[in-house]
Amino acid sequence: MIDETHDPALASWVESANDPASDFPIQNLPFGRFRTSREAPWRIGMAIGDQVLDLQAAALIETQDMNALMSAGPERRRAIRLAASRGLRRGAAQQSRFAAALYPQSKVELGLPCVIGDYTDFYAGIHHATAVGKLMRPDNPLLPNYKWVPIGYHGRASSIVPSGTRFGRPRGQIKPGDAPQPWLAPTRRLDYELELGVFIGTGNALGEAVPIAAAESHVFGLVLLNDWSARDVQAWEYQPLGPFLAKNFATTISPWIVTPEALEPFRAPFERPAGDPPPLPYLDSPENRTRGMFDIALEVWLQTPRMAAPQRLMRSNFRDAYWTIAQLVAHHTVNGCNLQPGDLFGSGTISGPAPDQGGSMLELTAGGKQPLRLSNGETRAFLEDGDTVILRAYCGRQGFRRIGFGDCAGTVLPAREA
């Protein structure tokens, strides 16, 4: 519900939060974890402007266990966010106490926002699924189940890393179509995928499905997610069971979890194109149809070693996804699967309908056949060593303050010696 925390007139005594370009005004207040040194323990924080508010030092929480906080449910999260909002406003009586609990974001390490137990990657971006399908199956790009089932697969949680992490170019088996046999080598077709991540807060018991009407109450919030992909490894290994080494080497997420409360002003209807089949009853509800989607603008930026500043490659919007977050939760649990606090969903690559809105280089370069020409004259068919990919997202609507997610960045290093 829209409440006092969404008032666009609210200003903070943390002056950097009042900058219209800030991702973290007082109307946002996302959760994350930080530490002041490598030896220090992780602490739960909240982003405000260019600062981090230590929530325990501000006497807003009693624990430094983010997963325990996530399991406490949406009412507890809303109460913390409301108390933080009131204490961070100009003229707040809590200013002196809160000011002593602030740290500059530039002076702390931002890590994974919680302990991630399980990771499921969905395929909810229909424009991505169609574009990739056309590369592989020109006459039948979408498989028959796509418009009926929120397709997903179980990924690797241990290799999920926070924004800013650098990783080596992965190796895997590669076999071009005309080669007599595969060989082991570093990927030559390294790609990114623009996704949103969904963190689960409260879980469900084994055997108990979450109905769609209750699905969003199990969601703690959203992050940006880059599902790095080795396309040549993927092409050889993905049948019959899907990607394996092509994706489990690294997945990057942004450090701040943007809550459903912060996103409330940016809800949108969930609409299927005319002629498409309606969702099955367990994936449908009046509320999901009227307000189940979120209007979140998404961008990919690339900085090569020769660039002075990053260049934007594309824009898309989460509204173009084919399935809502509530539908992903309902489908994941309909068979009795038990979700737990800290579980992470990937949305799947969110591309737009236009050719220049591809959420991966595979789409933007037509499978590498049409390399991108960058602003400094370089070209890219796929990512090269030293390249940094930055995902960004923000929400804006007349009558409300713009909020953002912060950067989700990762840098490709050369492959390690075998």
80-122 residue pLDDT tens:
999 999 999 999 999 999 999 999 999 999 999 999 999 999 9
Query: The tokens of 382 are what?
Result: 């796929």
Amino acid identity, position 315: R
Amino acid identity, position 416: R
**Cβ contacts of 205-209, under 8 Å, gap ≥ 24:** 205/338, 206/336, 206/337, 206/338, 207/336, 207/338, 208/333, 208/336, 208/338, 209/282, 209/330, 209/333, 209/334, 209/335, 209/336
- Give the DSSP H or E segment for 268: strand 267-268
Tell me, what's the pLDDT at 138? 84
Tell me, what's the pLDDT at 290? 97
268-304: pLDDT as tens digits: 999 999 999 999 999 999 999 999 999 999 999 999 9
Tell me, what's the pLDDT at 367? 95
Question: For the stretch 256-285, what's the b/e string if a residue is b when 16 or more beta carbons lie within 10 angstroms of its beta carbon?
Answer: bbbbbbbbbbbbbebeeeeeeeebeeebeb
Tell me, what's the pLDDT at 105? 98
Using DSSP bridges, classify how beta strands 119-122 and 229-230 pair: parallel, antiparallel or unpaired.
unpaired
Tell me, what's the pLDDT at 417? 81
Does CATH number 3.40.50.970 belong to domain 119-413?
no
Q: Which residue of the set 128, 218, 331, 332 is catalytic?
A: 128
> Domain spans of the chain?
4-110, 119-413
Q: How far is CA 305 from CA 309, 310, 376, 378, 408, in A?
A: 10, 10, 11, 11, 18
| Alpha helices by DSSP H, 7-110 | 66-71, 74-88, 95-99
Tell me, what's the pLDDT at 160? 98
Q: In DSSP terms, which residues pair with 391 in a beta bridge?
A: 300, 408
Tell me, what's the pLDDT at 9? 97
Amino acid identity, position 167: F
Which CATH number does the domain 4-110 belong to among 2.30.30.230, 3.40.640.10, 3.40.50.620, 1.20.120.330?
2.30.30.230
Active site (annotated) includes residue 218: no
Tell me, what's the pLDDT at 51? 98
Q: Which residue has the tokens 């913390």?
A: 80
User: Nearest 5°: CA angle at 395, between 82 and 75?
Assistant: 25
Give the DSSP per-residue string, 25-52: -TTT--EEEEESSTTSPPEEEEEETTEE
| Residues in the chain where the model's pLDDT stays below 50 | none
